[in-house]
């Protein structure tokens, strides 16, 4: 049991370390380069505040997608649910006169409930999660349009605006919210039993079921947590944007996948990288900031992010086959590239499952 | 359900399973398509009774059929990759990419209509082949690769449009484009007999695509190999099918069909612009999945893609005429998708139980 867990943890740590260090270097170099290119103005207070304020939402939606990915599910409704929740908060405050606190709590609860219902629907009907979230995405887009129509809701409470604007020591509160959510999520996934179960169900559903973990329950849990994180993302978006309309959330879907994929999360489930996802969101924000700095066409951002994701995917594959080749020449078993050299050390790989 | 167990042409065909399989399979699949057809016709008749304008040939049915023919090609583009168990999230962007080349050909090179279409199809096939090649070479899931491709093309197409044109659209129209857009079968007469005014001429491409794919999957060895690759890649590999090449083929075909759909959409709207294909992703899955194609691969239904798309088109148009606003339309479409699939799931469970009981 111990050897398995140690081996798994070591492999995970090694893998996450390599991806994370690369990303960290990219972030630092990119940030410095951008600062130099802007002759220092990028390091000053206002720029830093803007940079971090609009980083909060990408981080949160990336994490929301990551939670769904870790049980082997996809959540296509990230943008639609976020946009719907943001509009719901805005409409509650501006049109119904609900106090900011109540509206925010209501919005986050609704988002969580939608996630829960999605998860239950997937488990009960056993329809592919991709198609179910495609359906909920369509429904939520319609609901968002129904809430706001063509107008922009901007008459919401000053308290929320202050929250969006507040930045002690040039670090915006919304960004701190995102970081706190990331830290809580990391603690949940790496330390809590429920989080470990989630990963076990994603990594090997059969083994998880045999060791007494209900995969169905994990799928519902993952979608619920995903909904919760999207609710928080909607909160940060509503607080930092000048107003909410039906276009909010329209461009969240692709970044939400890009962040976990660049951050080193496998789409097949069973792996998470909270720090990697946060850093990947950072990288994408840097691309966006660079675009603004050199006043390029906004299309460059999408193009570059696409190329970066493709590059990550291809590069990761090359790295893996490289490792496999090295492991092969050392005389260990050729399959299972990442653990090629750890295999002979394991005494009894199977009996305990992953309990 | 799983069509080919042994590759055709193999010598292992014993007498027992061959006659048994079609007997099991045919009524089930015929049932689904028949149900869809009944639903499409029934709903069409219902809308026609409630709102007589629904049956107006010029204003309602002609645009409806034009939309359905375009979106059917989109659904087919998705179906081809689904048949090998993959997905193509970049289907809309590949359409835009193809249409860009067609527009470029007409605007800059002064190509005639068919040559521009050929250029468009080549561009689509090339980008599809590239996607398939990346997937087979890296072994990364098609979801990620096509998603990244979607990003990259989204940016690239807009950049190219803004670099090549003044107002982000090619407006040069080669001769024949306007006719292709607005002519129906009523404009083709064989002696005194003219065609129906509701069938657009644009539908000829759809018919060609349907026939081509029907032939590919129904009668050729390569089609069977595509299905087996989707149903069980390991078994396909072991029975000597070059699965990598089949995956590349599926993505190439998908790119080609997406580009064709992009061309048809551009003809339908009259301009070649970057926003072509923006709303293709949902219909591509709706049409193919409602038609009975499995997401897991191995089962396709070419006619089902047409019927599924027609069903969505009829519902959309009918609700629009009933005065349902654009916002609620999406809600209904999402619900239709979920309900249809839940019903499908129930039927699968029931038929599975029957099979289990009979054995």
**Helix segments in chain B, DSSP class H:** 17-50, 62-83, 91-104, 113-138, 142-164, 177-182, 203-219, 221-231, 233-238, 243-269, 281-290, 302-321, 326-358
pLDDT band at B6, cuts 50/70/90?
very low
Mean pLDDT over A12-24 rounds to 66
- The H or E element spanning position B325 is none
Please report residues of A whose CB lies closer than 8 A to that of B87. Answer: 130
C-alpha Rg value of chain A to the nearest Å:
21
Residue A340 has a pLDDT of 36
Residue A14 has a pLDDT of 61
Residue B194 has a pLDDT of 67
Residue B1 has a pLDDT of 40
Residue A177 has a pLDDT of 87
Say yes or no to pLDDT of A342 above 70.
no
* DSSP of B82-107: HHTT---TTHHHHHHHHHHHHHHIII
Give the pair of three-digit tokens for residue B55.
């049956």
Asked which of A178-187, B50-59, B147-156, B340-349 is least confident by mean pLDDT, the reply is B340-349
Asked which of A208-212, A293-297, A324-328, B31-35 is least confident by mean pLDDT, the reply is A324-328
B142: nearest CA partner in chain A: A267
Residue pLDDT, tens place only, A67-85: 888 888 888 888 889 999 9
Residue B13 has a pLDDT of 38
Say yes or no to pLDDT of A267 above 50.
yes
Residue B8 has a pLDDT of 41
Higher pLDDT, A168 or B353: A168
* Cα B355 from chain centroid (whole Å): 32
Contacts of B277 (CB under 8 A, 6+ apart): B91, B92, B93, B94, B95, B96, B99, B258, B261, B262, B265
Residue A198 has a pLDDT of 82
Residue A228 has a pLDDT of 92
Q: What angle do CA A58, A63, A64 make, to 5 degrees?
A: 100
List, in sequence order, every residue forming a beta bridge with B169; answer none if it has no partner: B273
- Residue contacts between A and B (CB atoms, under 8 Å): 137
Contact A127 B341 (CB under 8 A): yes
Do the strands B272-273 and B169-170 form a parallel or antiparallel pair, or are they unpaired? antiparallel
Neighbour-count burial of B270, counting CB atoms closer than 10 A to its CB (0-12 exposed, 13-18 middle, 19+ buried): middle
Mean pLDDT over B155-166 rounds to 84
List, in sequence order, every residue forming a beta bridge with B273; answer none if it has no partner: B169
Say yes or no to pLDDT of A30 above 60.
yes
Residue B39 lies in a domain: yes
Please report residues of A whose CB lies closer than 8 A to that of B334. Answer: 135-140, 142
Please report residues of A whose CB lies closer than 8 A to that of B331. Answer: 138-139, 142-143, 146
Contact A303 B151 (CB under 8 A): yes
In the three-class reduction of DSSP (H, G, I as helix; E, B as strand; rest coil), residue B169 is classed as strand
Say yes or no to pLDDT of A241 above 90.
no
DSSP 8-state class, residue B71: H
Phi, psi of A244 (to 5 degrees): -110, 140
Mean pLDDT over A268-279 rounds to 82
Say yes or no to pLDDT of B302 above 80.
yes
The class level of CATH for A2-35+42-345 reads mainly alpha
Measured in angstroms, the CA of A159 and the nearest CA of chain B are apart by 31
CATH number at residue B157: 1.10.3470
Model pTM score:
0.79
Mean pLDDT over B299-317 rounds to 86
Cα–Cα dist B357/B359, whole Å: 6
DSSP 8-state class, residue B60: I
Please report residues of A whose CB lies closer than 8 A to that of B91. Answer: none
Residue pLDDT, tens place only, B168-224: 777 777 777 777 777 776 676 666 666 677 777 788 889 999 999 999 988 889 888
Instruction: Provide the number of structural domains found in chain B.
Output: 1
Contacts of A314 (CB under 8 A, 6+ apart): B134, B137, B138, B140
- pLDDT above 90 covers a percentage of chain A that reads 10
Q: Which domain holds residue B61?
A: 30-178+195-349
Measured in angstroms, the CA of B63 and the nearest CA of chain A are apart by 23
| Most confident of the following: A43-47, B14-18, B259-263, B291-295 | B259-263
Residue pLDDT, tens place only, B225-281: 888 888 888 888 888 888 889 999 999 999 999 999 999 998 888 788 888 888 888
Nearest Cβ partner of B330 from A142, A268, A313? Answer: A142
Contacts of B18 (CB under 8 A, 6+ apart): none
B336: nearest CA partner in chain A: A135
Higher pLDDT, A99 or B259: B259
Say yes or no to pLDDT of B12 above 60.
no
Average pLDDT value over all residues in chain A: 78
B32, B292 contact by CB (below 8 A):
yes
Residue B284 has a pLDDT of 87
Residue A354 has a pLDDT of 36
Say yes or no to pLDDT of B142 above 50.
yes
Neighbour-count burial of A293, counting CB atoms closer than 10 A to its CB (0-12 exposed, 13-18 middle, 19+ buried): middle
pLDDT band at A257, cuts 50/70/90?
confident
Higher pLDDT, A220 or B329: A220
Average pLDDT value over all residues in chain B: 80
Contacts of A152 (CB under 8 A, 6+ apart): A243, A244, A245
- pLDDT above 70 covers a percentage of chain B that reads 83
Nearest Cβ partner of A134 from B148, B150, B282? Answer: B282
Asked which of A9-13, A126-130, A134-138, B270-274 is least confident by mean pLDDT, the reply is A9-13
Chain A: residues touching B (Cβ < 8 Å): 74, 121, 125-128, 130-132, 134-143, 145-146, 149, 254, 257-258, 261, 267-268, 297, 299-307, 309-310, 313-314, 316-317
Contact A134 B337 (CB under 8 A): yes
pLDDT band at B359, cuts 50/70/90?
low
Contact B145 A313 (CB under 8 A): yes
Residue A11 has a pLDDT of 62
Cα–Cα dist A327/A340, whole Å: 5
Residue B317 lies in a domain: yes
Asked which of B46-50, B79-83, B111-115, B186-190 is least confident by mean pLDDT, the reply is B186-190
**Contact with chain A for residue B141, Cβ under 8 A:** yes
- In this prediction the ipTM stands at 0.73
Residue pLDDT, tens place only, A328-340: 544 443 443 343 3
Residue B356 lies in a domain: no
A315: nearest CA partner in chain B: B138
3-state secondary structure A187-248: HHHHHCHHHHHHHHHHHCHHHHHHCCCCHHHHHHHHHHHHHHHHHHHHHHHHHHCCCECCCC
Cβ–Cβ contacts within 10 Å for residue B105, how many? 24
Q: How many H-runs (helices) and E-runs (strands) does chain A carry?
A: 14, 0
**Contact with chain A for residue B139, Cβ under 8 A:** yes
Write down the domain spans for chain A.
Answer: 2-35+42-345
Helices B302-321 and B62-83 sit at what angle, rounded to 10 degrees? 140
B170, B272 contact by CB (below 8 A):
yes
Residue B10 has a pLDDT of 38
Cα–Cα dist A68/A223, whole Å: 6
Say yes or no to pLDDT of B291 above 70.
yes
List, in sequence order, every residue forming a beta bridge with B184; answer none if it has no partner: B200
Give me the count of residues in chain B.
359
Between positions 323 and 342 of B, the ones with CB within 8 A of A are: 325-335, 337-338, 341-342
B56-60: long-range contacts (C-beta < 8 A, 24 or more apart)? B57/B197, B57/B198, B58/B197, B60/B317, B60/B321
Cα–Cα dist A173/B38, whole Å: 57
A243, A152 contact by CB (below 8 A):
yes
Mean pLDDT over A197-206 rounds to 82
Residue B126 has a pLDDT of 94
Residue A230 has a pLDDT of 93
Structure-token match 């070591």, residue found: A10
Say yes or no to pLDDT of A38 above 90.
no
* Cα A288 from chain centroid (whole Å): 18
Handedness of CA B100, B102, B106, B111 (dihedral sign): positive
Residue B15 has a pLDDT of 40
Residue A338 has a pLDDT of 40
Higher pLDDT, A118 or B197: A118
């Amino acid at each position: 049991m111990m050897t398995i867990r140690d081996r798994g943890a070591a492999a995970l740590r090694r893998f996450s370390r390599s991806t994370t260090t690369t990303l960290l270097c990219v972030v630092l170099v990119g940030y410095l380069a951008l600062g130099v290119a802007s002759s220092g103005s990028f390091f000053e207070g206002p720029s830093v505040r803007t940079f971090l304020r609009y980083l909060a939402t990408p981080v949160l939606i990336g994490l929301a997608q990551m939670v769904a990915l870790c049980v082997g599910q996809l959540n296509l409704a990230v943008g639609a649910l976020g946009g719907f929740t943001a509009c719901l908060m805005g409409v509650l405050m501006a049109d119904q006169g609900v106090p900011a606190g109540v509206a925010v709590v209501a919005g986050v609860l609704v988002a969580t409930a939608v996630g829960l219902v999605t998860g239950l629907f997937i488990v009960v009907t056993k329809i592919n999660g991709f198609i179910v979230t495609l359906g909920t995405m369509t429904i939520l887009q319609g609901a968002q349009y129904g809430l706001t129509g063509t107008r922009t809701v901007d008459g919401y409470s000053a308290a929320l605006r202050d929250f969006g604007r507040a930045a002690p020591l040039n670090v915006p509160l919304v960004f701190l919210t995102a970081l706190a959510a990331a830290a809580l999520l990391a603690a949940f996934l790496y330390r809590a039993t429920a989080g470990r179960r989630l990963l076990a169900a994603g990594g090997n559903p059969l083994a998880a079921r045999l060791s007494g973990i209900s995969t169905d329950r994990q799928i519902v849990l993952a979608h619920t947590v995903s909904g919760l994180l999207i609710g928080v993302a909607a909160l940060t978006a509503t607080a930092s944007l000048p107003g909410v309309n039906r276009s909010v959330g329209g461009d969240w879907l692709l970044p939400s996948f890009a962040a976990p994929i660049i951050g080193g999360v496998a789409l097949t489930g069973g792996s998470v990288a909270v720090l990697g996802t946060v850093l990947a969101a950072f990288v994408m924000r840097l691309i966006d900031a660079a675009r603004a700095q050199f006043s390029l066409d906004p299309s460059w951002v999408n193009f570059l992010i696409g190329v970066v994701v493709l590059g990550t995917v291809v590069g990761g594959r090359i790295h893996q086959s490289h490792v496999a080749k090295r492991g092969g020449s050392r005389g260990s078993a050729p399959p299972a590239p990442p653990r090629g050299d750890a295999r002979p050390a394991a005494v009894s790989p199977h009996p305990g499952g992953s309990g | 359900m799983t069509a080919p167990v042994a590759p055709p042409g193999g010598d292992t065909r014993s007498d027992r399973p061959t006659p048994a399989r079609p007997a099991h399979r045919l009524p089930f699949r015929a049932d689904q398509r028949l149900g869809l057809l009944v639903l499409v016709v029934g709903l069409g008749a219902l809308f026609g009774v409630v709102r007589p304008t629904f049956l107006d040939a010029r204003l309602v049915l002609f645009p409806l059929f034009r939309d359905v023919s375009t979106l059917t090609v989109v659904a087919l583009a998705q179906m081809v990759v689904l048949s090998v168990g993959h997905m193509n999230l970049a289907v809309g962007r590949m359409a835009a990419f193809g249409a860009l080349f067609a527009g470029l050909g007409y605007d800059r090179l002064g190509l005639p209509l068919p040559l521009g279409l050929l250029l468009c199809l080549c561009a689509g096939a090339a980008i599809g082949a590239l996607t398939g090649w990346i997937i087979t070479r890296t072994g990364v899931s098609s979801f990620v690769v096509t998603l990244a491709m979607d990003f990259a093309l989204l940016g690239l197409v807009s950049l190219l449009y803004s670099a090549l044109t003044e107002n982000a659209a090619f407006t040069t129209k080669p001769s024949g484009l306007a006719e292709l857009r607005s002519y129906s079968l009523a404009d083709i007469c064989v002696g005194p007999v003219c065609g129906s005014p509701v069938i657009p001429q644009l539908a000829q491409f759809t018919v060609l695509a349907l026939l081509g794919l029907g032939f590919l999957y129904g009668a050729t060895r390569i089609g069977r190999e595509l299905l087996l690759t989707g149903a069980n890649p390991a078994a396909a590999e072991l029975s000597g099918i070059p699965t990598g090449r089949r995956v590349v083929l599926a993505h190439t075909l998908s790119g080609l069909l997406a580009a064709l759909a992009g061309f048809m959409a551009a003809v339908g709207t009259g301009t070649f612009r970057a926003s072509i294909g923006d709303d293709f992703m949902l219909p591509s899955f709706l049409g193919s999945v409602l038609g009975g194609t499995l997401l897991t691969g191995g089962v396709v239904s070419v006619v089902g893609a047409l019927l599924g798309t027609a069903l969505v088109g009829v519902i959309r148009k009918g609700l629009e005429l009933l005065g349902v606003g654009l916002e609620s339309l999406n809600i209904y479409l999402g619900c239709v998708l979920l309900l249809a699939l839940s019903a499908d799931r129930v039927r699968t469970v029931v038929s599975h139980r029957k099979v289990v009981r009979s054995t």
